[in-house]
Amino acid sequence: MFARVVAIISDVCEGHKKEVAVLFVLTSILSHVVYRSWQSNSSGEEKGECKRKQSTSTAPVTAPAGYIETIRNVASPNAPFFLLEMRLKTARQIFRVNVPLSGGLYVVSNPDAAREILKDVSCDKPIEIYKPFQSVTGDPGIFTRSTYDKMWTSVRKSTAHSFSSTQVQRMNRICTEHTEMWLTDRVQSSVNKFGSFVFDPSEEMTQLTFRSIMESAFEYTSNEQDFETFSHNVEVSLKEFAIKEGGNPFRFLYKRFDPSYYRALQSSKIAQEFVRKVLNTYRNGNDPKRSDATTLVKIICDNKSLTENQKITELYTFMLAGFDTTGYTLSSTLILLAKHPEVQRKLQRELLTLEPVERSKSKYLKCVINESMRLLPVAATGSYRKASRDFTFPDEGGGEIVIPKNAVVAMPFYVQNRDPANFAEPNLFIPERWETNYDKVKGAAIQFAYGARNCPGQSLAMAELYSTIPKILSEYKLELEKEGKLDYFLTLKYVGAKLRASRLESSS
């Protein structure tokens, strides 16, 4: 039996020396003994309480995939698709997956249960899930710090001023200017010469949002090389520290034997140096477009409680979160519209009946954006929390189930938003589902996290979506040239898709 365990762990460790696997097994056995010892020393009162709960409640069912299969999938681009598969196989909206985490890992696709956990301020982020991100950004920051950390509270409160309604309007005006420049310089010039413009929406939209956010929030005029440097090195470092380490609890044993680990360290340093360059450009007043507004870079730069490295970490975090999530949501929406020409035509007809300044208020546009974000949530694996208490929920099989205190709870948006218990025909793009029973549909779809750890920049992201899409669709028709494939790497997006933009007859 021991030899079989060693063989399995060796397989997980991607072919590295079996001595490493033996070390892990011995460490695991010791940890198991210590954990059991701690359990046996628990107070009689806690044991009695546990027995009383067991008499009326049961534990969630466990997904059929074993430890090896689960780890391989959750530490890979297949993570959201695998979790949805497990939800369908268990026929439960709350289930446990086989991952060696203390307290266990539970997946929740019931939106009411997810909201209850997310809104409970005592449920913190699990450090074992989020700590690897610190190797990317350099130091603990707003994304990885505990909710109980006074520094997290300070940064969160101070940076909120940069996302006030006044600041969002200012930043969205800059986004609109960049969109108009893109339409003129990239799309219109090609259409005038060749009759159409063929482009990769994921590449074009992420570059567009990068330029917009760099100027509006960081007061930095970026170029194509800046985008390539930052995005490439972020991707290399995130693959190692967020995916491989974050999803594989065994990797710490052998990562130093893997050259990709050292490449990721170097990429982290390069990306951090770019952020330092942005901060110094602001500090030295070298950008001609410097603003007097309460921008994000100004707030962080002037925060005397932060060290220089902490300022880099906070700026890095906001920079990363600010451009790729919005960019990929834009690109996914454009691709869905190209794949569903009847939806695109219906939206264009409504947009063209409105004055340009009123197009962002289009009712059908709201349906399209909501449905796009439901079907293809960019943060597909959603949020994780550590249960601060026992959570009891109704079970589909009857009775109640309990997510125990100290369990790690995953609330993947992709699974929730494609759960057949939450939506009819969940895998289809149907914007009309939002035209009736809006509150019910809205209640079933989770697009941003709730509670104290919700996305601070979501108002800006939504403003950009509602301004950029009408600009494009009111002037150009989009056709699908190449579908590409759906890919997950921290963000859910299409890779390799191609769209053809040609001028709308009514806008020529």
What pLDDT does 298 receive?
96
Instruction: Specify the 3-state DSSP secondary structure of 418.
Output: coil
- Among residues 298, 339, 297, the alpha carbon closest in space to that of 315 is found at 297
What pLDDT does 442 receive?
86
What pLDDT does 497 receive?
98
Low-confidence ranges of the chain (pLDDT < 70): 1-57, 246-247, 249, 286-289, 449, 451-452, 506-508
Q: What angle do CA 473, 447, 313 make, to 5 degrees?
A: 100
The 10s digit of each residue's pLDDT in 38-48 is 333 333 334 44
What pLDDT does 295 receive?
94
pTM reported for the whole predicted model: 0.86
What pLDDT does 286 receive?
67
What pLDDT does 128 receive?
82
What pLDDT does 41 receive?
38
Q: Based on the number of CB atoms within 10 Å of its own CB, is 79 exposed (0-12), middle (13-18) or buried (19 or more)?
A: buried
What pLDDT does 287 receive?
63
DSSP state of 124: B
409 DSSP β-pair partners: 106, 385
What pLDDT does 120 receive?
93
| Structure tokens, 98 | 């086989």
| The residue to which tokens 């009847």 are assigned | 342
| The residue to which tokens 């925060």 are assigned | 303
| Structure tokens, 105 | 């890992």
What pLDDT does 23 receive?
40
268 DSSP β-pair partners: none
Determine contact, residues 469/370, Cβ cutoff 8 Å.
no
